[in-house]
Amino acid sequence: MATTVAPVNLGHFTDRRIYLRSSPARGGGALSIRLLLHSPAHPSRPGVAARWMASAATTVVASVVEETETETTVPREQVEAIRSLNGWVEENMLPLLTPVDALPWARWLRGWTAEENRHGDLLNRYLYLTGRVDMRQVEVTIHHLLRNGMVRTYVEMLVPKSPYHSLIYGAFQERATFISHGHTARLAARHGDGTLARICGVIAADERRHEAGYTMASAKLFDVDPDGMVRALAHVMRGKVTMPGLLMSDGHGDGGSDLFGRFSAVAQRAGVYTASDYGDLVEHFVRRWRVADLDAGLSGEGRRAQEYVCALAPKIRRMEELAQRRAARGEPGMARFSWIFDRPVVLG
Annotated binding-site positions: 116, 119, 174, 207, 210
**Number of other residues whose CB lies within 10 A of the CB of residue 25:** 7
Count of H-run helices and E-run strands, the chain = 13, 5
Q: Distance (Å, rounded) from C-alpha 266 to C-alpha 260? A: 10
The DSSP output letter for 150 is S
**Positions of E strands within the chain:** 2-10, 13-21, 30-38, 334-337, 343-346
Q: Distance (Å, rounded) from C-alpha 38 to C-alpha 219? A: 51
Of 212, 234, 235, 232, the residue nearest 224 (C-alpha): 232
User: Which residues fall in the annotated binding site for Fe cation?
Assistant: 116, 119, 174, 207, 210
The DSSP output letter for 293 is G
**Number of other residues whose CB lies within 10 A of the CB of residue 253:** 11
